[in-house]
């Protein structure tokens, strides 16, 4: 019931967005979605669709789903559509009849040059859509639905935020448990295994591929990111960091925490390690304060990037932060530099309701990588933390248990 309610909420939001962006109707065209689904589909139905299927939302308030006969009942049960048409022989006739009746001036389709979450339509399906709409002289009215799809993903509703808060809460609780569990002599994989066992006890799912969630990196000369836990042993003098996230009701968390492994006679981290950690924490807070609706993501990225380089560290080789939602990496706009690989994403203005990570990093020579990742919600006047920020370096020693 919760998922059905969320679908109705997002369908209504999408229709508001169509009016805002002056698009008369938005078509999500899919087939065999268990093999090749559209990133927007989770907002529209709550299960896979088999045959050629079309979800058509209109700025006028009309909503129609044209699906295979066996998928009809499932779509009807969402309660989100004024009309659900189930076909047997083919979708061509009901689709063309409906579009002739609708007669839209501008039709949005799910393709995009820059945004992976808006580019769900295959080239073959695009050609199919052009051929079909040519029969009723509507093919010249096609355009990208990127504005609508981006905004639908990015502008989180209250229900979506609540699910993300739940995922964050469980993630932070497991970080607290593993914080007491780590000790020198353990391997990265043993630490990750402990965390995965806690996830299983709670009946939850990981936010991304289990092979690399959680990621655990101990000491210098590690892969640094996006790599599986290894048999590397946690040793005194190591900086140890973890990247970990969970899913609650289909919505993700994505957080990182940093530890220092004390040596036998140490009661605090060395000055150079503490400086690195403090620089990270300060840059996160300064970046959060720079976030507000209308600001470009590149402006926020520059705040942290400059603080870290001015403190004597190398520039981090990635964007400062990405959006989070149904995927750990979600949305179109990012907090990032104007690099080729990011396209137009860093120049997009931030909007109220977006959820971002802030995750700068730096290397402390001989010890490892210091990095913390927090999650923030863009609000009317700025940005609020959704996670509880790590303000102190987490110390671990042989007495940890």
Tens-digit pLDDT profile for residues 14-48: 999 999 999 999 999 999 999 989 999 999 999 99
Residue 365's H or E segment, with its range, is none
Sort strands 83-87 and 63-68 into parallel, antiparallel or unpaired: parallel
Q: Say if residues 390 and 259 touch (Cβ distance below 8 Å).
A: no
Count of helix runs (H) and strand runs (E) in the chain: 10, 20
Give the span between the Cα atoms of 142 and 136, in whole angstroms: 13
- What are the structure tokens assigned to 89, written together? 């022989």
pLDDT at 1 exceeding the cut of 60: no
| Cis peptide bond N-terminal to 87, omega within 30 | no
Residue 253's closest CA among 333, 180, 163, 157? 163
Give the span between the Cα atoms of 217 and 239, in whole angstroms: 8
pLDDT at 162 exceeding the cut of 50: yes
pTM tops 0.75, yes or no: yes
Q: What is the mean pLDDT of residues 72-93?
A: 95
- How much is the pLDDT for 399? 61
What is the band of 7 on the pLDDT scale with cuts at 50, 70, 90? Answer: very high
- How much is the pLDDT for 227? 86
Mean of per-residue pLDDT scores for the chain: 95
Residues above pLDDT 70, as percent of the chain: 99
Q: 364 pairs with which residues across the strands?
A: 368
What is the band of 401 on the pLDDT scale with cuts at 50, 70, 90? Answer: very low
Q: 108 pairs with which residues across the strands?
A: 26, 143
What is the band of 114 on the pLDDT scale with cuts at 50, 70, 90? Answer: confident
Residues above pLDDT 90, as percent of the chain: 94
Assign 284 to helix, strand or coil.
helix
> Exposed, middle or buried, 299 (CB in 10 Å: 0-12/13-18/19+)?
middle
Q: What is the pLDDT of residues 179-190, one digit of tens each?
A: 999 999 999 999
Q: What is the mean pLDDT of residues 337-353?
A: 95
Q: Which residues of 183-214 are buried (b: 16+ CB within 10 A; e: fewer)?
A: bbebbbebbbebbbebbeeeebbbbbeeebbb
pLDDT at 349 exceeding the cut of 70: yes
Give the span between the Cα atoms of 298 and 199, in whole angstroms: 35
Q: What is the mean pLDDT of residues 174-199?
A: 96
Ramachandran assignment for 312, one of left (phi > 0), alpha (psi -120 to 50 degrees), beta (any other):
left
pLDDT at 398 exceeding the cut of 80: no
Rg of the chain over Cα atoms, rounded to whole angstroms, equals: 24
Question: In order of start, what are the domains of the chain with their CATH numbers?
Answer: 2-153 (3.40.350.10), 155-396 (3.90.230.10)
Q: 361 pairs with which residues across the strands?
A: 371
Q: What is the pLDDT of residues 378-397, one digit of tens each?
A: 999 999 999 999 999 999 98
pLDDT at 237 exceeding the cut of 70: yes
């Amino acid at each position: 019931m919760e998922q059905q309610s969320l679908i109705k909420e997002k369908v209504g939001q999408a229709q508001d967005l169509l009016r805002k962006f002056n698009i008369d109707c938005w078509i999500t065209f899919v087939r065999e979605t268990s093999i090749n689904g559209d990133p927007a589909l989770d907002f529209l139905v709550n299960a896979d669709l088999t045959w050629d299927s079309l979800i058509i939302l209109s700025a006028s308030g009309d909503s129609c789903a044209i699906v295979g006969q066996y998928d009809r009942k499932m779509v009807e049960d969402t309660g989100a559509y004024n009309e659900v048409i189930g076909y047997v022989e083919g979708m061509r006739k009901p689709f063309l009849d409906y579009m002739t009746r609708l007669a839209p001036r501008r039709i949005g389709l799910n393709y995009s040059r820059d945004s992976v979450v808006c580019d769900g339509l295959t080239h073959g399906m695009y050609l199919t859509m052009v051929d079909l709409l040519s029969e009723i002289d509507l093919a010249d009215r096609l355009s990208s639905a990127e504005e609508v799809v981006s905004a639908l993903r990015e502008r989180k509703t209250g229900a979506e935020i609540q699910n993300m808060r739940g995922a964050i809460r469980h993630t932070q609780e497991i970080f607290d448990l593993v914080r007491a569990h780590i000790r020198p002599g353990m391997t990265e994989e043993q630490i990750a295994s402990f965390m995965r066992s806690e996830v299983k006890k709670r009946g939850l799912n990981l936010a991304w591929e289990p092979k690399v969630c959680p990621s655990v990196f101990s000491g210098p000369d590690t892969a640094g990111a996006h790599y599986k836990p290894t048999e590397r042993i946690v040793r005194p003098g190591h900086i140890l960091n973890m990247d970990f996230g969970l899913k609650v009701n289909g919505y993700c968390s994505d957080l990182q925490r940093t530890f220092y492994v004390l040596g036998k006679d140490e009661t605090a981290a060395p000055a150079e390690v503490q400086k690195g950690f403090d620089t990270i924490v300060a840059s996160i807070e300064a970046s959060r304060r720079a976030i507000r609706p209308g600001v470009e993501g590149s402006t926020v990225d520059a705040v942290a990037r400059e603080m870290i380089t001015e403190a004597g560290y190398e520039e981090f080789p990635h964007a400062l932060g990405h959006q989070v939602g149904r995927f750990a990496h979600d949305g179109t706009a990012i907090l990032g530099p104007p690099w080729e690989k990011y396209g137009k994403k860093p120049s997009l203005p931030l909007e109220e309701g977006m959820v971002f990570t802030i995750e700068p990093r730096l290397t402390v020579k001989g010890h490892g990588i210091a990095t913390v990742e927090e999650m923030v919600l863009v609000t009317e006047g700025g940005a609020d933390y959704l996670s509880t920020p790590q303000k102190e370096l987490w110390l671990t020693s042989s007495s940890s248990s």
